[in-house]
Structure 1
């Protein structure tokens, strides 16, 4: 800030640091449509999770490749 009067001027600086709060933690919310049946069993997963989601990792538990899509489908070929 600079102030000026009839006798001259003077200035002073002040540093201000503002920080943003961290985003809220995500809330997990997902379903599976069909949850039991005979193999091969096709399952549609629906993810309605909310909050600041930076990644997804669906592990289907059968040794197959993981998925990072929001709402994947997966076929279980073996019983278990």
Structure 2
């Protein structure tokens, strides 16, 4: 996996990063939130080219996408309850 940080602009918080099992081997996925609007994006990297998606909700019929979404929402909710700032 690549090192995270330098490729994201200031104000982006990476929430999750993994190698997905349902995408071509070698692909990578990152989920991040951009400040100040808090826009959540899923980014898929293939062969050094990245694409982002704000419509991952369309994949909610897939158990892996549902679990990933639940993990992100749980983390966001926990951080808010704990008083942390994104």
* Structure showing the higher helix proportion among its residues: 2
Q: Indicate the structure whose relative CO is greater, using CA pairs within 8 Å and at least 6 residues apart.
A: 1
User: If the length of structure 2 is used for normalisation, what is the TM-score?
Assistant: 0.25
User: If the length of structure 1 is used for normalisation, what is the TM-score?
Assistant: 0.26
Q: Which has more radius of gyration?
A: 1
